[in-house]
């Protein structure tokens, strides 16, 4: 095409973009809305945990784990803050942090434990002191913390390594994109301190050239609230209900909700025994979903007692995770004696190390359908009795303490 033709095409494109009803292209990455620092006269070391939110609707496993580690780190730091960059805390959230004081970002406070909302930050600044120590988990919180620590160093303070709680390979949450590149940029293995949620994930990072020079690793353990129910399930030895428990998070692409539904739908049409089974979905789903041959029963987000009851009485679990992290639901389901259908990913091979876990040959509706039929066969062959339930020496029943990790990290940032 001629140079004139190219020019005319570019002009036409601009006119199209400015025409009524045509959305202009996005020029911002919302996750990196700047957290602008200002000098805080606070003296001494102060721990800063940067989180998206602590509200109940956002309080899934990742944030809960970050708070547990923060609580353990607080034993080593008499002063600390929780900085919230996505959502201001509601009253229920604040009630869970009764030892903390709510401090607006435009103020400074001498309180030793603070919660500082900073989601509404247009033309606002955040007080940053010379010896602040930064902890982050989600990539955009790490992005903000790294920049505040850098500002701190450039203005006479100490720019220490950030403590990065890494709970998945977060670039994988996006297509190759701005967010992919930005999240990848937060991994600074020669600079920061990595705390990895499972050795599987730490190994994945190392195998992909991201081995942290300073790192700690912890493994999943069963929630304290589930342990009494597990013991009861072990002692009861009664048949399980014909129920498939589906971990349903439609808003989280890596949990492959659409693929799960395609597989369930196919199984429902092909396996005549599907009419005898209930399919229930704890998680984000708020209303029952008609899949054709049956309805997927929405349970919503369950409290710990209701979740324990569900695991204790159900026969099969279906939980997918398109990432190197194993995720907790399939491990919890398997510990309670359910047969669990999940997937492999890269170095993740749960079926090779975890009792009762069965991995798909491929992530397709046909494979899910075949896998469910095989698990129904297995359940019925043992008269709906549970598969092996985790014994007292099971790794999921270890004590879930972060005290040693916190002690090691505290020494590193002294």
Q: Tens digit of pLDDT for each residue in 174-194?
A: 999 999 999 999 999 999 999
The confidence score (pLDDT) of residue 237 equals 86
Report the pLDDT value the prediction gives residue 283, as an integer from 0 to 100.
85
d(CA 61, CA 139): 16
Confidence at residue 15, expressed as pLDDT on a 0 to 100 scale: 44
Tell me the percentage of the chain whose pLDDT exceeds 70.
95
Give the tens place of pLDDT for each residue, 396-405: 898 878 999 9
Given this model, what pLDDT does residue 2 score?
47
107-121 pLDDT, tens digit each: 999 999 999 999 999
Q: Which of 63, 117, 65 is nearest to 87 (CA)?
A: 117
Tokens 């945990």 found at: 49
Give the pTM.
0.90
Task: For residue 370, give both structure tokens.
Answer: 């075949």
User: What is the mean pLDDT of the segment spanning 254-268?
Assistant: 98
Fold observed for domain 34-219+402-412: Rossmann fold (3.40.50)
Task: Walk across the sheet containing 101-102 and list its strands.
Answer: 101-102, 113-117, 80-84, 46-51, 132-136, 163-166, 193-197, 214-218
Instruction: Work out the percent of the chain whose per-residue pLDDT is above 90.
Output: 86
Domain extents in the chain: 34-219+402-412, 224-396
Question: What is the rounded CA–CA span in Å between residue 364 and residue 136?
Answer: 35
Sign of CA dihedral 259, 197, 299, 231: positive
- 293 falls in which pLDDT band (50, 70, 90)? very high
Q: Which of 16-25, 28-37, 219-228, 253-262 has the lowest mean pLDDT?
A: 16-25
Between vectors from CA 276 to CA 274 and to CA 282, what angle results, nearest 5°? Answer: 75
6-39 pLDDT, tens digit per residue, is 544 554 445 455 555 678 899 999 999 999 999 9
Checking if the pLDDT of 169 tops 50, the result is: yes
pLDDT value for 7: 45
Same fold, 34-219+402-412 and 224-396: yes
pLDDT value at residue 325: 96
* pLDDT one-digit tens code per residue, 133-162: 999 999 999 999 999 999 999 999 999 999
* Predicted confidence (pLDDT) at residue 56 exceeds the cutoff of 80: yes
The domain defined by 224-396 folds into Rossmann fold (3.40.50)
For 21, which DSSP code?
T
∠ CA 384-389-393 to the nearest 5 degrees?
A: 170
pLDDT at 414: 80
> Which tokens sit at 77?
């730091």
């Amino acid at each position: 095409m001629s140079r004139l033709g190219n020019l005319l095409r570019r002009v036409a494109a601009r006119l199209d973009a400015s025409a009524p009803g045509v959305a202009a292209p996005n020029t911002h990455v919302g996750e990196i809305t700047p957290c602008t620092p200002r000098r805080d006269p606070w003296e001494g070391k102060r721990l800063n945990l940067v989180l998206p939110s602590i509200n109940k609707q956002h309080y899934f496993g990742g944030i809960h784990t970050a708070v547990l580690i923060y609580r353990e780190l607080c034993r080593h730091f008499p002063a600390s803050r929780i900085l919230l960059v996505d959502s201001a805390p509601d009253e229920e959230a604040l009630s869970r942090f009764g030892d903390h004081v709510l401090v607006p970002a435009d103020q400074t406070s001498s309180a030793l434990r603070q919660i500082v909302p900073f989601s509404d930050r247009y033309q606002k600044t955040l007080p940053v002191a010379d010896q602040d120590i930064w902890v982050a988990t989600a990539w955009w919180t790490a992005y903000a913390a790294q920049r505040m620590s850098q500002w701190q160093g450039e203005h006479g303070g100490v720019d220490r390594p950030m403590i990065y709680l890494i709970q998945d390979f977060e670039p994988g949450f996006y297509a190759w994109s701005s967010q992919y590149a930005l999240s990848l940029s937060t991994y600074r293995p020669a600079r920061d301190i990595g705390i990895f949620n499972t050795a599987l994930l730490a190994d994945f990072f190392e195998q992909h050239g991201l081995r942290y020079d300073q790192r700690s690793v912890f493994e999943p353990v069963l929630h304290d609230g589930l342990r009494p129910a597990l013991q009861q399930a072990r002692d009861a030895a009664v048949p399980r209900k014909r129920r498939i428990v589906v971990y349903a998070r439609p808003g989280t692409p890596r949990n492959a909700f659409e693929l799960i539904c395609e597989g369930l739908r196919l199984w429902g049409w092909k396996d005549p025994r599907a009419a005898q089974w209930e399919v229930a979905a704890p998680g984000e789903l708020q209303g029952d979903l008609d899949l054709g041959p049956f309805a997927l029963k929405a349970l919503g987000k369950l409290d710990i007692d209701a979740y324990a009851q569900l695991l204790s009485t159900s026969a099969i679990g279906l939980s997918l995770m398109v990432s190197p992290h194993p995720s907790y639901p399939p491990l919890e389901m398997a510990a309670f004696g359910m047969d669990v259908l999940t997937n492999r990913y890269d170095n993740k091979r749960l079926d090779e190390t975890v009792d009762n876990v069965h991995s798909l040959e491929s992530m397709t509706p046909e494979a899910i359908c075949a896998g469910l039929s095989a698990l129904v066969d297995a359940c019925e062959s043992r008269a709906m009795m549970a598969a092996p339930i985790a014994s007292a020496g099971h790794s999921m029943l270890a004590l879930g303490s972060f005290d040693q990790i916190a002690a090691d990290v505290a020494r590193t940032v002294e």
